[in-house]
Amino acid sequence: MISIKALAAKPFAKIVAKGIKKWSLNPIETQEKVFKQLISDAAGTAFGKDHDFISINNHEDFVKRVPVRDYEALKSYVDRVVEGEENILWKGKPVYFAKTSGTTSGSKYIPITKESMPSHVEAARNAILMYINETGKTKFVNGKMIFLQGSPILKEQKGIQLGRLSGIVAHYVPKYLQKNRLPSWETNCIEDWETKVDAIVEETLPENMTIISGIPSWVQMYFERLIEKTDKKVGDIFKNFNLFIFGGLNYEPYRAKFENLIGRKVDSIELYPASEGFFAFQDKQNEKGMLLQLNSGMFYEFIEAEHFFQENPKRITIKDVKLGVNYVMIISTNAGLWAYNIGDTVQFTSTLPYRVIVSGRIKHFISAFGEHVIGKEVEEALNVAISNSNASINEFTVAPQINPEDGLPFHEWFIEFENEPEDFEIFSKTIDTSLQSQNSYYKDLIIGNVLQPLKITRIKKEGFKNYMKSIGKLGGQNKIPRLANDRKIAETLYETKMVK
C-alpha cells in the first residue's frame, strides 16, 4: 500500500526540479544576480566599507578591491564577530558559528547567518527530491533514515549558538521527517564515537532502515559493527535499504567494500557540504559530477591550481571555466565570507548545467620533486588497480619518501586492505602505470630515474581507525588526508606500529 507521504513526494519533487532547472540553465545570469545582491547587502558592513563595496559594479572591481583570503587572513574580522560586534562581515550577527578544527589557527569559527542557513538544509533535501523526480522511487520515504553526524548540543557565546555543522543542521530536520529520523537525540549527543556507533547499532537493528547517510569511512565502521552483532550482511538486516547518501570523501575506493558489506548494490547520492556552504549535490544518477549551487547566496570564483601560488593569479567566474582543469574554488557568501579560499580543488565535468567533482585539497598534494600529484589522480589510480584485481580496501594515504635507505626516492602508499591482492607486484605496478598516464610530470620523473615506482606499505586491520583515535580525531566529520607533501602521518603510523 502506497502511503500519503510517498504519493505527495512525486509532485513536490517535480516542482522543486522545475525550479532547479530554471536557474541551472541560466547560470551566468543567476550568478550575476547573486553577486549584485551580496555586494548590496554587505555595503554597510565594516568589511564592505573597508573594501569600498559601494563602488563595486562588476567582478573586475571586486577583484581589485577584495583579495583572496583564507581563514587566517580573514581572522581579524571573524574575531570581532566572535566578540559580539554587529555588522562586521555581514549585516547584524550570525545565528550560529560552525566550529571546525583548523590546522594553523586552532579552532575555526565559521559564521552561519539567517540568510545562509536555508541552503545548508534545502540542498540535502533537494538532492533527494531530484533523485525521486529522476527515478520515480518513493518507497524509502516510509522507512527510517539515519545520518551519522556530530553532537547537536550547542553552546552560546556572546548571543551566538556554537557547534558542529552537522549538529546545527540536526535542529532543522523538517517535522514530516522527525518520526523517520534516527538516531535518537540522546544517542546523537554521545561524544565518544565508538560508544555512539554501538548505541546507533542497538537503535537501528529492529528498524526498517531505508536511507543511510554519512562519510563513507565512518558508515563503514557502523556497517562492520552491525555485521559483528548479527553475522548478517547489512542488506539482509535492512531489506528495504536502497539509498546511500554520502559526502566528504570519494566513494569509489570504498564501493567494492561497501557492496560486500551490504551484499548487493544500492543507489547512491553524493553531496558536497561544508561549514562554509553547501556547494553541490548529485542531481543525476548517470551523470558524472555534482550540480553546483549557483542560486544559494554564494558567488564562485576559480583559480587554476597550478598557478595558485603565483603572485596575483587570475581569478575567473563560471563563464570562463573549462572542463577537466584543476581549479581552486573561491567563494563569497551571504554568511559574510569574501573571496574566501576553502582549500578545495574542483574540476568541471559539465558546463550546462555546471557540475563539479572535488579533486582534492590545495594543501594536500605531493610535489616533493615537482610532480604535483593530486587527490583525484591517486584515487583513480587505486580504483583501476582494484577493478583489475580481487582486492578491496578500508583506507589509504600517500606520502613521499625522500631519503630511503636504499635506491631512489619514491611515493609510499599506506593501504589498509580488506582483501589483499593476489599479486602485490602487479597491483602496485597497475597503480603506478595509471598514475603516470594521468600525470606527465610524475611519468617524466619515473622515466628520468629521479623517482622509482611507488611502494605499498600495508597497514594493520583498524590501523587507520587507531591512528585517528591516537590524535583525537576519531569519528564525526574527520577524515584521513589522501595525500601529504610531508611524512607526519607516515611517521606516526610507523611510531604507533600500525604498519605490518
Instruction: Note the helical H segments in 45-156.
Output: 46-50, 59-65, 71-82, 117-135
Q: Quote the mean pLDDT of the chain.
A: 90
Statement to judge: residues 344 and 473 lie in one domain: no
Q: Give the whole-angstrom CA distance, residue 72 versus residue 360.
A: 20
Residues 315, 331: contact at Cβ < 8 Å? no
Statement to judge: residues 46 and 187 lie in one domain: yes
Q: Give the whole-angstrom CA distance, residue 285 versus residue 301.
A: 27
User: Considering the domain boundaries, does residue 320 fall inside one?
Assistant: no
- Check pLDDT > 90 for residue 38: yes
Statement to judge: residues 235 and 346 lie in one domain: yes
Statement to judge: residues 398 and 285 lie in one domain: no
From residue 159, how far is each of 13, 107, 189, 389, 435 by CA, in Å? 37, 19, 22, 56, 51
What number is the average pLDDT over the span 259-265?
93
Number of domains the chain contains = 2
User: Considering the domain boundaries, does residue 406 fall inside one?
Assistant: yes
Statement to judge: residues 382 and 355 lie in one domain: no
pLDDT at 310: 84
Nearest CA among 294, 319, 285, 10 for reference residue 136: 10
- Check pLDDT > 60 for residue 213: yes
Statement to judge: residues 350 and 422 lie in one domain: no
User: Considering the domain boundaries, does residue 313 fall inside one?
Assistant: no
User: Considering the domain boundaries, does residue 368 fall inside one?
Assistant: no
User: Considering the domain boundaries, does residue 250 fall inside one?
Assistant: yes
pLDDT digits (tens, 9 = 90+) for 306-330: 888 888 999 999 999 999 999 999 9
Statement to judge: residues 256 and 149 lie in one domain: yes
pLDDT at 210: 94
Residues in a beta bridge with 291: 281, 355
User: Considering the domain boundaries, does residue 14 fall inside one?
Assistant: yes
The DSSP letter of residue 171 is: G
CB atoms under 10 Å from CB of 125, counted, come to 16
pLDDT digits (tens, 9 = 90+) for 92-144: 999 999 987 644 446 789 999 999 999 988 898 899 999 999 999 988 888 99
Domain carrying residue 160? 1-297+331-359
Statement to judge: residues 414 and 336 lie in one domain: no
pLDDT at 475: 67
User: Considering the domain boundaries, does residue 203 fall inside one?
Assistant: yes
Statement to judge: residues 194 and 261 lie in one domain: yes
pTM of the model: 0.82
Position 4 confidence tier, pLDDT thresholds 50, 70, 90 = low
CB atoms under 10 Å from CB of 479, counted, come to 16
pLDDT at 476: 59
Provide long-range contacts, Cβ within 8 A and 24+ apart, for 342-347: 342/274, 342/276, 343/70, 344/274, 345/305, 345/374, 345/375, 346/302, 347/323, 347/376
Q: Give the whole-angstrom CA distance, residue 120 versus residue 9.
A: 20
pLDDT at 151: 79
Nearest CA among 486, 483, 482, 409 for reference residue 446: 409
User: Considering the domain boundaries, does residue 309 fall inside one?
Assistant: no
Statement to judge: residues 75 and 120 lie in one domain: yes
CATH code, domain carrying 445: 3.30.300
Q: Which of 156-165, 246-255, 274-283 has the lowest mean pLDDT?
A: 246-255
pLDDT at 176: 60
Statement to judge: residues 239 and 337 lie in one domain: yes
Position 389 confidence tier, pLDDT thresholds 50, 70, 90 = very high
Statement to judge: residues 392 and 335 lie in one domain: no
Q: Give the whole-angstrom CA distance, residue 402 versus residue 410.
A: 7
Residue whose C-alpha cell reads 566572535 in the numeric block? 82
Residues 87, 46: contact at Cβ < 8 Å? yes
pLDDT at 116: 94
Ramachandran class of 322: left when φ > 0, alpha when ψ lies in -120 to 50, beta otherwise: beta
pLDDT digits (tens, 9 = 90+) for 280-290: 999 999 999 99
Which of the residue ranges 8-12, 53-57, 486-490 has the most confident prediction, judged by mean pLDDT? 53-57
